[in-house]
Structure 1
């Protein structure tokens, strides 16, 4: 634009009013100036609005840009690889000790191409961008691999034929997450040595087989081991307690209740040999030992990770490196991490350190810019690291730890006249942890925050005597860090207590349910099978007698009808068949027309119903070939007798008799001779509330049971013939 100078003269007489043009048609000076200002200012404002986008890349005074910081890091790593193609950091001794460098180098030689390996903390790496910059500064073609404390994180081939991407996919999809970096690199080398097409197919197959979740882990943690110990304790204590309590209960439920006056016993019966008493406890003890042995074989894990145990040299390598750097310069920047302080900022920090050393109550200040992670020698504790550096350096002062990965700052006093607690607890939060702007910045604004920390040190209160900070506890030992606790420790002992309690509760619940089922079983329609040992109540009801007699008689008749199918001739039966037929005919003579369906007739007394039941069971026993001829005289529902014994059938101890008894009744007579009368079977009498012993009912119809089944059958048939004769005479 061409500008023309305009000269304006005002009339001598009067001036125009403010804000109006001249009256002679010429332009006034003020509007022209406003117009020139707008023409020149508007473009400048537009340029100023777009200026931040281009100025954002300009470095802040005193701080490195992220690109420059990573570039310095890549240059230093390239120098390491120029010396040796495998560089293992000394900052991960608990996961990847530096002593594994020879193993990584041995595996790298199997790829068939020049291979450069960087093992670095994952917090300070930048993936493929870092590999690109390292390759550019090293200037050598080959296979570049980046590994962190857990796995292979990056790989790229420069100028060589190697399926780096496919090998990386195989490692990520095929190996468990806790396989460890060395095992992951071994699998990576195996695939990288293949042809690209074969490696690609293997990578696709691994991705399809395992999906996104991948295979299960190889190791368990301390929490899993405690769970295993707890379950083992429950099983070791619970199962033997169940055996010792539930087995005797089931045995006694099957035998019936103990006799009156007998002392209850848990797992043995008085009067039996000692070795039989110890049989059940021995079984329970052996079962617990077997469970413990099986658990030791199944839960055989001993380590919680694949990390090897580091050597003492591995654990002290980084501290020695930092101490060597601090001996030359009070500010040490980790060469493996991005360089976040440039020369101007370092010069200012050195100046602040010198001024503090000359101030009253001041002293040396040592600044370490190294990352702190759970995998390092101090388990990520900055206070332990500062104490270790102070002990190795042997010089009192303020030790400042700055983490280039997280951006955290801490200051620890060792031997200066400063209030250590004030320095530790009153450090401003924006200085210690960083503001929001610092967390978003790539360099965490460490330059500005270190300057603010030095200002805080200048203002920190002084003490009369030199002080030290709190001595931190020692770091966990690396030898035991990845070892699992023993199986029979930690929660195993609480598991024993819980197992015993749970076993007792389980047994009580089973006993309660068993007793409830025994009482409500008949009401719910459950019927014991014919001849079942459970079908022997001591005081059966009339309905139970009718139901059982009908069931037993039908079963005996059905057994007789199967005789031709078994090859026996009814015309010339064998002695067992003849005896069974006699018993069934005698039982049928007690019914109305021999029909089991008519056993509900009111004329059938409880004694006759019991006789039908006993004879029907005896008939079925004869068909099975049982040679028993005697019935238990205490309770005929118990079945055949095991022998004859001299007992006291009545109260008072008078009138002893020789009676056939089953095994439970024989045992009861031995344990409590005076209480045997309480076990005798009773039947409903004429009055509902009164019960009488079975041998006294219906004119002692069942009294012959004290002898044998044949005597009962003869008496029943004789009574039936007498009834028939009386009926004929009456007719």
Structure 2
């Protein structure tokens, strides 16, 4: 009434022409008072039914009226104001928050104020735009660096001189993709410290080199370790077994040839054992990798930080939007979602709904498993309800019932794909149409059948243990054991192939006696002209070498005996009348003398064919193709192998002197003559003695 009276008194002083305006003003004041009274009554009525959560919703709704594009930058700027290095809690498996001191230590080496943000790669649609917005919010000049789970993603200098682009290029091109973000930031800092000109030159060099020579990977994966284990097992059994099998084969061949044992029995097993020990000790040094990633091992606090942050936020507000990620709900959509959550809570069979707008990455504590994340948040919040995990990065929505009387199978099987994954429009939109889809989700929850008993999600499989996730299996494990069998099989296979090839080649060679001949061997039948030429060459060579060295002993004995055969004139070996048996004897003595001068004295030459060269042993061999006549003769290596494999071929290999025939068949050289040549099977010394006996020289 005072107001009316006052107004009336005041109106009495107003000219008459203003009476219409006065009445209009009074009407507006009355309507305003009624509106205020109605609003107060309505708020009081709602407050009577409101829970603490709904009161918090109203407060959050008012705060959400701030422009959403700047909310992420403002939050990050506040974190950098507290500490110039901010490491997210969303990447504990790749970059734990405990690595912040390492980033801070490296940042001091740039020489300029440096602000580092370590965030998931999908935390920003434009990294440079985010850095600019954070700089504007923080209001401090310096070098701003954005690091993701792989490398230095973006860098920009504001008000300071720093070659940010060149440093980013070098860290990108000089390091392999698996170097890790901490090493990438260290290389970035080192290039910043070089200065502008040197940094630019290094960036150009790195860019040019990258096109032709990319850096090799720094770490191996589990499949590579399995291959290493397989190779180790294969070598550990294959090489020693191959040594033993090869030595056994050689020993059998020597025993069949009549050669004596030269090595003790323990040598071969000892060599194989030492080889196996060397492989076992060397393999861990060569294959010394222990981890498949540069990621440090996170602490329990690193792995629980994000869940605790989200749970604390949900206790204050049933809708928690990750402040490190771009906002996908505007103020109107948040208000709408809060209203739908309140209505569902009051509905029959309904209850609390908690929405977490948080990205799910493989580097998170739950390894990107939304079910596991929801279960962890539910355990921390301690309140049964529907837990919704909405990923603002990829736009997926997952729903989990923890304790409400809702049909969980319906939630899992019948949730529309348009809600869970979105349609083509949602994929193209920056916000994934998250507001509309969450509203559709609340409608789906309203229509979900109720049950008599509360439903609970089955316990999800635990995430991989962070301490073991990037640890490589031991070298002597996994495929090492199959490798042992592979090595044994390969050793048997290779030794069998080698033995088979040796047998096949030997058989082919023995079928063709001429194929045994080498440049230093002669055929069984030789012409007189070849003998004259060879005898003259060998004798003149021995004479020249003997005169140069002036040695006596066996070489003098051989030269003296050879000269006795030609009456002291080497030229007589070129006469057509020279006896073939004498020529062969000269050749044998000349070669034995030259071998003595070379320090390789020859005691016996091949008794099958003296022109074959030195003998390697003695053996009973067949000397007749018609009868099984045998004789103990010194044999060269090819003749020995032939006597073992094809003894019937030896008669064809016996030296036949030109013109020496009897009864239509050629005789062996030692039967075709009774001269000094017949003493060849008894040794060089006996040949020398017989030459001297024949010449009457003592």
With the length of structure 2 as denominator, give the TM-score of the two structures.
Answer: 0.74
Residue in 2 that maps onto 1:433: 421
Counterpart CA distance in 2 for 1:313 and 1:305 is 21
In structure 1, how many angstroms separate the alpha carbons of the residues matched to 2:532 and 2:219? 67
Q: Deviations over 1:390-446 (max 9, x none)?
A: 122222222111110000111112222333333223322221111111111111111
Aligned CA distance change for structure 1 residues 592 and 577 (closer, same or farther; 3 Å): closer
Match of 2:232 in 1: 232
Q: 1:698/1:556 Cα in 2 relative to 1: closer, same or farther (>3 Å)?
A: closer
Q: 2:545 is matched with which residue: 534, 559, 566?
A: 566
Aligned pair partner of 1:545 in 503, 512, 524: 524
Name the counterpart of 1:386.
374
Alignment deviations for residues 580-600 of structure 1 (CA, whole Å, 9 cap, x no partner): 567899xx999994799xx9x
How do residues 346-425 of structure 1 correspond to structure 2 at under 5 angstroms? 346-425=334-413
Please say if residues 535 and 584 of structure 2, whose CA atoms lie closer than 8 Å, have aligned partners that are also in contact.
no
The corresponding residue for 1:4 is none
Contact 1:171 1:184 in 2 (8 A): yes
1:87–1:118 contact (8 Å) kept in structure 2: yes
Partner of 1:529: 518
Task: Determine the C-alpha separation between the residues in 2 that align with 1:231 and 1:176.
Answer: 26
Structure-2 residue corresponding to 1:281? 269
1:513 equivalenced with 2:501 (yes/no): yes
The equivalent position to 1:623 in structure 2, one of 594, 597, 617, is 594
Judging changes above 3 Å, is the alpha-carbon distance between structure 1 residues 225 and 629 closer, same or farther for their aligned structure 2 residues?
Answer: closer
> Structure 1 regions of 5+ residues with no counterpart?
1-61, 260-268, 536-543, 600-607, 651-656, 669-674, 720-731
The Cα shift of 1:487 comes to: 2.1
1:88–1:118: 8 Å Cα contact kept in structure 2? Answer: yes
Give, in angstroms, the shift of residue 452 of structure 1: 1.9
Residue 576 (structure 1) aligned with residue 558 (structure 2): yes
Q: How many residues align?
A: 607
Shift of 1:676: 13
Q: Aligned runs of 1:281-680 on 2, under 5 Å?
A: 281-520=269-508, 528-529=517-518, 544-546=523-525, 557-568=536-547, 574-580=556-562, 593=576, 616-617=587-588, 619-625=590-596
Residues 636 and 393 of structure 1: CA distance in aligned 2, closer, same or farther (over 3 Å): farther
Q: 1:589 to 1:243 in 2, by over 3 A?
A: farther
Structure 1 equivalent of residue 26 of structure 2 = none
Structure having the larger proportion of residues in helix: 2
Query: How far does residue 510 in structure 1 lie from its aligned partner after superposition?
Result: 2.7
Cα RMSD for the two superposed structures = 4.8
Q: Distance in 1 between matches of 2:646 and 2:105?
A: 91
Residue 706 to residue 107, structure 1, CA distance change in 2 (3 Å): closer
Distance in 2, matches of 1:405 and 1:706, equals: 96
The equivalences for 1:680-691 within 5 A come to 681-683=650-652
Any idea what SS the aligned residue of 1:462 has?
coil
Shift in alpha-carbon separation, 1:183–1:713, aligned structure 2, 3 A: closer
- What per-residue deviation string (whole Å, max 9, x for no partner) do you get for residues 178-207 of structure 1? 222222222322332343233323323333
Q: Which runs of 5+ in 2 are unaligned?
A: 1-60, 624-629, 657-664
Change (3 A) 1:593 1:715: farther
- 2 CA distance for matches of 1:664 and 1:527? 10
Give the TM-score of the pair, scaled to structure 1. Answer: 0.71
- Shift of residue 641 of structure 1? 6.9
Aligned match of 1:181:
181
Question: How far did residue 623 of structure 1 move?
Answer: 3.2
Deviations 1:437-476 (A, max 9, x none): 1111111111111122222222333333223222221111
1:84 maps to which residue? 83
CA contact (8 A) 1:171 1:188 kept: yes
